[in-house]
Amino acid sequence: MIAQDYSILLCTNGDERTRPALQYGVWLAGLLDKKVLLIGISETTAKQEALTGLIAEATSNLDKAAVPYEVKIEAGNGASVVAGYANSGKYLSVVGRLGRPYWRRFIQGRSFRRFMEAVNTPILYVPKMRLPLKRILICLGGLDYARDMEDLCFQIAKAAQAELCLLHVVEPVTLDYPLAREVQDHWKDIIATDTVVGRNLRRSMEAAEKTGCTVGFEVRQGNILHEIVHEARDGDFDLIGMGSAYSAHALRHLYLPNITAEVAEALECPVLTARFGG
């Protein structure tokens, strides 16, 4: 369970593409009544004037929203600076695109991948604004690793009175064993089965219903990435909740696709993720 006494961490390196995250973070801090730590990252002298301008704009918006805040300016690499602050306390980091050149994105992927790898605390990636917040899609794997992400989404949904939809994707079975066959045979009503996945899905539904928001449940079968992206687009959701590839304390994240990062890169809406804290 995510503690209630966290703060919002906002950051900008002076790139125009960080503006949506700054604006969204100010709105979220006001919605949840949270303090803000605003980090200005001085990466190059060429962006110094733009950095000063975005910091001034963000502080003005924070003042208008009556949100308490602190500002710090630090030189260094964006992901490294954010990780240093985010991992030093209880933060929800609201981050955007840092404006990396195409060749760097092609080789390393977007900045969000490095944020996920380096930051242990929850991350809200905002490539574009999606307000007002009306619909939240929470993607469930049927295991405990998504619980901290769920808890944050439930807090936001309750404050915004947003509609919740819980999604579980059943992958095609590649190994033949009793549990796999049961899941395959009952994938449409997996939430009612007496399996680990079924029990965890019911727990998630019960927790969602306690928010007092409208709650729905969808199950799809097929490729996880494709089904999540299709559901998100078909349902016109404003926020996507995803588990973290780094939640599992095992080697799985080294050889399996980072579905959360791929979803974030495929969609133009905010994506919230959190590692499992136990």
Q: How large is the average pLDDT for residues 218-244?
A: 94
pLDDT of residue 253 exceeding 60: no
| Fold match, 7-125 / 135-274 | yes
Q: In the prediction, which pLDDT does 109 show?
A: 47
CATH assignment of 135-274, among 3.30.420.10, 3.40.50.10470, 3.40.50.620, 3.40.1350.10: 3.40.50.620
């730590």: which residue's tokens?
Answer: 37
CATH number of the structural domain 7-125:
3.40.50.620
- Look up the pTM and report it: 0.89
High-pLDDT (> 70) share of the chain, %: 84
Q: What is the pLDDT of the chain when averaged over all its residues?
A: 86
Domain ranges of the chain: 7-125, 135-274
Q: In the prediction, which pLDDT does 111 show?
A: 67
pLDDT of residue 165 exceeding 50: yes
DSSP conformation letters of 201-256: HHHHHHHHHTTTS-EEEEEEES-HHHHHHHHHHHHT-SEEEEE-TTSSSSSHHHHS
Residue 22, both tokens: 């700054």
Answer whether 92's CB lies under 8 Å from 152's CB.
Answer: yes
For residue 218, the cross-strand partners are 167
